[in-house]
Amino acid sequence: MAATPEIDMNRRRFLIAATAAVGGAGFVMTAYPFVMSMMPSQKALAEGGPIDADIRPIEPGMLVTFAWRKQPVWVLHRTQAMLDRLGKHDQLLLDPLSQQPQQPVYCQNATRSIKPEYFVAIGICTHLGCIPTYRREVGAPDLGANWPGGFFCPCHGSKYDLAGRVFKDVPAPLNLKIPEHTYLSATRLLIGADKKAS
């Protein structure tokens, strides 16, 4: 049976709190072997400003979750094989060209990113706010033979590809939202602003 919106919001709050709690202990693996959680400084959290993220530990294929403004922000290090698949299932997507304003203009492109290998997105389903799970397995039995790898929302079954583009015929109406961000260097990502705050 589908969860109610109230339950969804509780789940969302719980999961964000859990992410913060895990991240506060340092840099640890969660249940999924390719997902990690990280936490910005207390100062950045208190101010709600942009966070400076070290992306060096993110191996190809790995997803790391950062906490920003009490939201989970994903950084996925896409492999070349993942990138090669992105252009092959546009017919399955609701907004394959990202025409809805769910991203900064510099991410309105085929990979929805500044650098193709790094996908940055707010990890909150655009239906009722649950946190989708990272499902990178192509053709996963429970998601169908044409599943290209992506994100699956367990609350009501919405699906997104590895660029956060929502599939047709699911409850979610929009692609995943991409926050403002910029690269301070090859290994440092600023999440929450287009340029380094002074």
Q: Rounded CA gap, 171 and 135, in Å?
A: 18
- Cβ atoms 40, 52 nearer than 8 A: yes
CA atoms within 13 A of residue 68's CA, in its CB half-sphere:
25
Of the two residues 167 and 192, which places its CB atom closer to ligand FES in the complex? 167
- Shortest spacing between CB 4 and ligand FES, in angstroms: 11
Of the two residues 116 and 157, which places its CB atom closer to ligand FES in the complex? 157
- Shortest spacing between CB 3 and ligand FES, in angstroms: 8
Of the two residues 75 and 174, which places its CB atom closer to ligand FES in the complex? 174
Query: Which residues make up the interface to ligand FES (CB under 6 A)?
Result: 8, 125, 127-130, 153, 155-158, 171-172
C-alpha distances out from residue 52 to 18, 78, 163, Å: 21, 20, 22
- Shortest spacing between CB 71 and ligand FES, in angstroms: 15
C-alpha distances out from residue 85 to 78, 104, 138, 139, 159, Å: 11, 23, 10, 12, 16
- Shortest spacing between CB 69 and ligand FES, in angstroms: 19
Would you state the structure tokens that stand for residue 195, as one six-digit string? 């340029």
Of the two residues 113 and 158, which places its CB atom closer to ligand FES in the complex? 158
Q: Rounded CA gap, 89 and 14, in Å?
A: 33
- Shortest spacing between CB 2 and ligand FES, in angstroms: 8
Of the two residues 49 and 129, which places its CB atom closer to ligand FES in the complex? 129
